[in-house]
Structure 1
């Protein structure tokens, strides 16, 4: 993807597009295409001290200046105290994301390229400059803006005592006990120590989210590199907290490490086997979410960058797109095995806790989505032996515990339907809560939970048959099917009720949860009912990049997701558009229309807007959420795992019609 000056006619326009590179540990580097930090989550090195969590902002950015012929060209872009104070983006000529970011600056008769990438499985960022000098000698100066704080927080002058120690080709900076020193090394030039602070950096993203938008950064000094007239010079800067690979060794071979990372990414493309640009870009995007978790010693899935951790529900929904469509079958096995190992009383973890603490299990749908992930895994791999030996006993336990009853009031009722939660305990994906205010109460029998419950029973029954075992629950799937149709079908409105409360009260709000009941491989709905539901969802919930979480005709509909936490959480599931829901929507549409050529063309029209979206918000990624109101502005995390995964899965399976194959 190529961007030119038309993408940053103003500071504000350029700051809307964010880039990301990740290291496979939960650490990352991110910023805007114009080089400004517009969020407290931006930084050139955000290290995961306890992968994939305990993320710490260490190197916020590098601000560059070039002096030639007595003129100083400031390449830095910053907002300070709410105003643009550094306009370096005017010298920015092009930005290339392929998928690693490259920033090309042009001024006088000088061109400078700036490449940013991370080393895999290291908390190390490499910034590689290629300097094409003009007719006059020049001096490149770059100043590190350093921090040492949890990436959710802000730092201010006087809060931390930074200690900077000059190194042979750079500097080591420390501030907080338990956080390794940040080493910044340059392959050329010299470091000039001069302690100072950059005060009042302004983050427009945080202002938009109703949070404190100001921060100060420590500056330990600056690097200075002399460049002869007409010289083409490569300067490699390494920012790291690692000891196993000396920073000066990396700096001495920056080009080699850049090539190594490019080769790794191309190998992922070759493994996936797609030639279409959209599929290729999403395969690259998928790689960023698959991370190593130290506490389990296995792979996990980061739910979204920059601020989410790894969650069970998100992992199971995203697993087919991230690991099966991309043919990363070993990663899929590892993730399925990990969650099997941590299954407790029939529940999969909602979230792994930091360190050695027990995971949190407060979710009803992670365990049910697990069955769907296993089903898709078998479609793509046919590895029934692995499922039999490691996963099938866990599936048996999940069904048993749900029938008998387990934590959080999760239990199959006498009618076979699954109930869960309480007025103060929300267990579905629509779980926004502000203090004691439950924004979308869905305790009782939620529609998608019972659709997933039926699907899980059917998957388990088929596996029992395949392995020559007796399905111990008789006609429970049939009982669930009959109860579901009888209780959830709202014929007058042509929809499914969203929730049936403990008192039998039925919630008739039009929400997207019912599309899951249409899209799952084992559905209780007739073709006619499915078609009616799909049409209502399309008319009132579809919004270009996903489905609204509530009908725009509902009096409680909130069409804009912005403001402080109260405002944002109040809109999160009350109208906000969710990108991941486009996947089940497209799959449901194709199946209902018998995979006709016309339905394939329409599915392609559903996918097409995402090609444009890849150039907006998170460049090369798909956002978490969008406003329900036009123009459906992207919000939330700029790179969301299940959004990327479900768009990729639906595109490959339902548009390209590349069906699961045994690998």
Structure 2
């Protein structure tokens, strides 16, 4: 039987995230049942922030008292059996300052469990303690569950898996495969070697997404703790063991981590920090957890909210300088694959977003009284002007400036704009020609270069503005989404999409102003606005897809054909305020209508974060990535637009 349209799916369940500062993470569902292949406690990136390997998937826990033996955890097994019944004993959950659970056992015993990831080392700290209950025995048994596989893959029972354990001074180390980093548990418990396979563990979200969903996990042994005597501690780390006193080491990490988290000033600012990670000697931004790496387009869009709006100017500088060195043929790469393969230059807009991010960063540094050193600014200027020169001359994928001053782009089988879904070579929203937001970005990049660096950019800016004014206004209202469609001069795509909003808001220099801008904003609000994002296509369109569900092909077909994106609310709110004069009254109205639903969303799905996409139709179930960098970044930017604290 099909799910009713308004019935929540597994994707709507609340999930927690602990990022490690290296591009990896620990994550899971609030009820403790792993529903994604990405839910795990210890993941190690071999080439941060890529090539991430799951070392410890989770733990299976039981508590034994005088009244019997009770589970604290549950797993779901194919075809759908939940066992044991630990999830039913969760009495409460909190995700501040880190994930914490309380369990209520039938005999009145209360157990507290908490975990956090320390970002410098990537260590995952787990602690349990007895809160209440009758006197008598209270013994905890913890079985680590191991795989040693790619974080986006699945693992099956095999003879090559090595269960052998090395025990040294409270550390127990496993080396499941020769080419995978070791996993170590530092504990104050007693280890008993007892190898066991858990077969056919089912991940329900993967099943709903039409992906392989079942794996086998291995448990080399079990740790025993006496909670009647003292709390239990387990510290998981990649590599060999180091510390010898588990409780002291965990306490030291907890004290330092609490201080670090408090320094952010707010949960929102702390969530923003999760995406800024190391890449070699520099910094970059992970586009989203769990499966994204650092994408160029996402990095430059998200940077403005995650780093600039939160005052993390040194990180912003490091990110931009790191990417500046990657300019090639007038383009920046859009993606560094998780496999460590060569970067992919497959975006017409990513390089232009870089120029916008540089502009905003320079302004933010100057406003803070911390202007960039001349050498750094010169390096960013050289990269930005190399991009502009490359686009004027022409570069990959037929990207170049036409005689009307506008940018044309596109080749068959290549996805170049942010509407970039592709399945088995099929580009679902090709938008070949001259896309509207690309022109807005191009005009802004030229205006930035003219204002900051050289008058030689003023003539092409004027030409592009004139070309835009002549080509993009739609007599039926708003702006065309693409002109010269598929390279055919004089053609246009009049479907109502959100990309036109960038001509009015979201960028430093509006391309459309006055009454024309008001018409664009009103059209977008009427046709595309939802409380959690802008739809990618008007519901009036025969191609509209109401829900983001099903296998990969169905989801990609819906991705930009009606699915709503929270990050688009940033430019939309900026445009909405711009045509209303940015008055106090307008800001209060925007806060209630546009911001509050996003703030409410922080307590659902990816806790403390904003999802990648939501259904175009109510009730707007979340989908895609639960923790998305530009979604959170634009939420923070909206707060700044409305003069609200982060």
Which category describes the TM-score, using the shorter chain as reference length? over 0.9
- Deviation, 1:30, is 0.3
- Deviation, 1:473, is 4.0
Counterparts of 1:58 and 1:430, CA distance in 2: 34
Q: Indicate the residue corresponding to 1:257 in structure 2.
A: 253
Q: What aligned pairs does 1:362-511 form with structure 2 within 5 A after superposition?
A: 362-382=346-366, 383=371, 385-386=373-374, 388-464=377-453, 470-501=454-485, 502-504=487-489, 505-511=491-497
Q: Indicate the residue corresponding to 2:4 in structure 1.
A: none
Over 3 Å counting, the alpha-carbon distance change for 1:254 and 1:473 in structure 2 is closer
1:51 is the counterpart of 2:48? yes
Contact in 1 for aligned 2:109/2:131 (Cα 8 Å): yes
Q: Indicate the residue corresponding to 1:619 in structure 2.
A: 607
Counterparts of 2:199 and 2:171, CA distance in 1: 23
Larger mean Cα displacement after TM superposition, 585-594 or 638-647: 585-594
Q: Give the SS at the match of 2:429.
A: coil
1:152 is the counterpart of 2:140? no
Contact in 2 for aligned 1:210/1:564 (Cα 8 Å): yes
Q: Indicate the residue corresponding to 1:173 in structure 2.
A: 174
Over 3 Å counting, the alpha-carbon distance change for 1:159 and 1:541 in structure 2 is farther
Counterparts of 2:341 and 2:198, CA distance in 1: 38
Counterparts of 1:494 and 1:132, CA distance in 2: 61
Q: What aligned pairs does 1:234-633 form with structure 2 within 5 A after superposition?
A: 234-243=231-240, 246-249=242-245, 251-269=247-265, 280-294=266-280, 297-353=281-337, 358-382=342-366, 383=371, 385-386=373-374, 388-464=377-453, 470-501=454-485, 502-504=487-489, 505-519=491-505, 520-605=507-592, 606-633=594-621
Counterparts of 2:138 and 2:10, CA distance in 1: 31
- Deviation, 1:510, is 0.7
Over 3 Å counting, the alpha-carbon distance change for 1:531 and 1:159 in structure 2 is farther
Counterparts of 2:538 and 2:145, CA distance in 1: 46
Counterparts of 2:341 and 2:51, CA distance in 1: 14
Contact in 1 for aligned 2:300/2:350 (Cα 8 Å): yes
Q: Give the SS at the match of 2:504.
A: helix
Q: Deviations over 1:391-444 (max 9, x none)?
A: 111122111111111122111000100111212222111111111322112111
Larger mean Cα displacement after TM superposition, 528-537 or 77-86: 77-86
Contact in 2 for aligned 1:432/1:438 (Cα 8 Å): yes
Q: Give the SS at the match of 2:600.
A: helix
Contact in 2 for aligned 1:20/1:29 (Cα 8 Å): yes
Q: Indicate the residue corresponding to 1:112 in structure 2.
A: 111
Counterparts of 2:242 and 2:53, CA distance in 1: 21
Counterparts of 1:657 and 1:75, CA distance in 2: 39
Contact in 1 for aligned 2:50/2:337 (Cα 8 Å): no
Over 3 Å counting, the alpha-carbon distance change for 1:210 and 1:477 in structure 2 is same
Q: Indicate the residue corresponding to 1:642 in structure 2.
A: 630
Q: Deviations over 1:602-638 (max 9, x none)?
A: 2102100122211111011110001111110000110
Counterparts of 1:96 and 1:596, CA distance in 2: 38
Q: Give the SS at the match of 1:395.
A: helix
Over 3 Å counting, the alpha-carbon distance change for 1:509 and 1:184 in structure 2 is same
- Deviation, 1:474, is 4.7
Counterparts of 1:498 and 1:607, CA distance in 2: 30
Q: Deviations over 1:328-354 (max 9, x none)?
A: 110011011011111112111212356
Q: Give the SS at the match of 1:253.
A: helix
- Deviation, 1:13, is 7.6
Q: Indicate the residue corresponding to 1:74 in structure 2.
A: 71
- Deviation, 1:653, is 2.3
Q: Give the SS at the match of 2:88.
A: helix
Counterparts of 1:393 and 1:15, CA distance in 2: 45
Q: Deviations over 1:352-411 (max 9, x none)?
A: 356876422221111101121112112211126445322111122111111111122111
Structure 1 unmatched ranges of 5 or more: 1-9, 270-279, 465-469, 659-663
Counterparts of 1:548 and 1:458, CA distance in 2: 29
- Deviation, 1:536, is 0.8
Q: Indicate the residue corresponding to 2:207 in structure 1.
A: 207
Counterparts of 1:128 and 1:227, CA distance in 2: 11
Structure 2 unmatched ranges of 5 or more: 1-6
Counterparts of 1:449 and 1:166, CA distance in 2: 57
Counterparts of 1:426 and 1:142, CA distance in 2: 47
Q: Deviations over 1:231-253 (max 9, x none)?
A: 5x22210111144x714355532
- Deviation, 1:199, is 1.2
Contact in 2 for aligned 1:37/1:203 (Cα 8 Å): yes
Counterparts of 1:181 and 1:237, CA distance in 2: 16
Q: Give the SS at the match of 1:310.
A: coil
Q: What aligned pairs does 1:83-102 form with structure 2 within 5 A after superposition?
A: 83-102=81-100
Contact in 2 for aligned 1:496/1:533 (Cα 8 Å): no
Larger mean Cα displacement after TM superposition, 448-457 or 254-263: 254-263
TM-score under structure 1 length normalisation: 0.91
Contact in 2 for aligned 1:201/1:215 (Cα 8 Å): yes
Contact in 2 for aligned 1:250/1:257 (Cα 8 Å): no
Corresponding pairs, count = 627
Q: What aligned pairs does 1:12-27 form with structure 2 within 5 A after superposition?
A: 16-27=13-24
Give RMSD over aligned pairs. 2.0
Q: Indicate the residue corresponding to 2:184 in structure 1.
A: 183
Over 3 Å counting, the alpha-carbon distance change for 1:292 and 1:115 in structure 2 is same
Counterparts of 1:300 and 1:388, CA distance in 2: 18
Counterparts of 2:20 and 2:421, CA distance in 1: 30
Over 3 Å counting, the alpha-carbon distance change for 1:160 and 1:575 in structure 2 is farther
Q: Indicate the residue corresponding to 1:224 in structure 2.
A: 224
Counterparts of 1:166 and 1:630, CA distance in 2: 54
Contact in 2 for aligned 1:583/1:646 (Cα 8 Å): yes
